């Protein structure tokens, strides 16, 4: 089974840049997307074979939002986190299947000068507690744009980005707390020493051409599902967004 996740940075824009063609050729059983940037009724996305589609839109038009396209019918679908404060930007969708929960998440950006760091850290805590609760029932796969580079190896210029959004000490420690609950960074599980492996590049300064990027998109897998993983990676050659899709193969 292949699972794919992609921050599309606006679904309408990505649709014009090959999203449907990518989805059709991806071989994925589930495709999760983040940063949909659309509103209810504003888009119509039809991918042959993906009969189950779920969207969560932000109350603010043209902002945030997530979606999941699945070939498999889930047992249940839920939106958001148990704390309502974090449920107005369409950042979380959960599908329950027979043997695991599948979550797409778009973690808030702390923004310049970390002006939204408190909201982001609160979101992190709520997400961490939510995942821990779900794991009391069955394994969890959580994927999406977590807006944090975990280690120096996960971005091109770590020293220059100390205490910038996405690489502040507080954000890295918060992400580490989630991993410490028993969630595995699937890419590093398979490729612990690989350098230059990034999933996001700025549109400025030809960053993608130079591979001056960050790895901020993840598939996190709970320990219960560890032995089912067979591969994980970044589809860096796929264009259409400032992010690249990431994937997880499980059996």
Among 145, 154, 185, 217, which one carries the catalytic annotation? 145
Q: How far apart are CA 145 and CA 246, in angstroms?
A: 10
Note if 106 is an active site residue.
yes
Sheet holding 183-185, edge to edge: 76-79, 92-96, 100-106, 139-145, 217-222, 183-185
Q: Which residues contact 11 (CB under 8 A, 6 or more apart)?
A: 19, 33, 36, 37, 38, 43, 45, 67
Q: Which of 106, 167, 198, 218 is catalytic?
A: 106
Q: Residue 93: which H helix or E strand, with range?
A: strand 92-96
Q: Assign 13 to helix, strand or coil.
A: helix
Active site residues: 106, 145
């Amino acid at each position: 089974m292949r699972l794919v996740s992609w921050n599309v940075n606006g679904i309408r824009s990505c649709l014009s840049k090959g999203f449907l063609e990518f989805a059709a050729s991806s071989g994925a059983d589930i495709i999760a997307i983040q940063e949909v940037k659309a509103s209810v009724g504003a888009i119509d996305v039809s991918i042959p074979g993906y009969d189950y589609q779920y969207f969560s839109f932000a109350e603010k038009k043209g902002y945030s939002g997530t979606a999941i396209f699945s070939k498999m019918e889930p047992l249940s679908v839920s939106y958001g986190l148990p704390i309502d404060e974090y449920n107005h930007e369409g950042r979380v969708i959960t599908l329950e299947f027979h043997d695991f929960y599948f979550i797409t998440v778009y973690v808030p950006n702390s923004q310049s000068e970390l002006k939204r760091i408190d909201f982001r850290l609160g979101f992190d805590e709520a997400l961490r507690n939510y995942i821990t609760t779900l794991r009391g029932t069955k394994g969890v796969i959580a994927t999406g744009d977590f807006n944090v580079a975990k280690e120096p190896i996960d971005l091109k210029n770590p020293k220059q980005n100390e205490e910038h959004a996405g690489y502040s000490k507080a954000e890295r420690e918060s992400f580490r707390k989630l991993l410490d609950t028993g969630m595995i960074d699937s890419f590093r599980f398979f490729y612990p020493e690989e350098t230059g492996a990034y999933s996001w590049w700025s549109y400025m300064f030809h960053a993608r051409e130079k591979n001056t990027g960050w790895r901020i998109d993840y598939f996190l897998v709970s320990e219960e599902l560890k032995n089912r993983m067979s591969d994980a990676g970044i589809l860096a050659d796929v264009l259409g967004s400032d992010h690249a899709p990431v994937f997880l193969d499980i059996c």
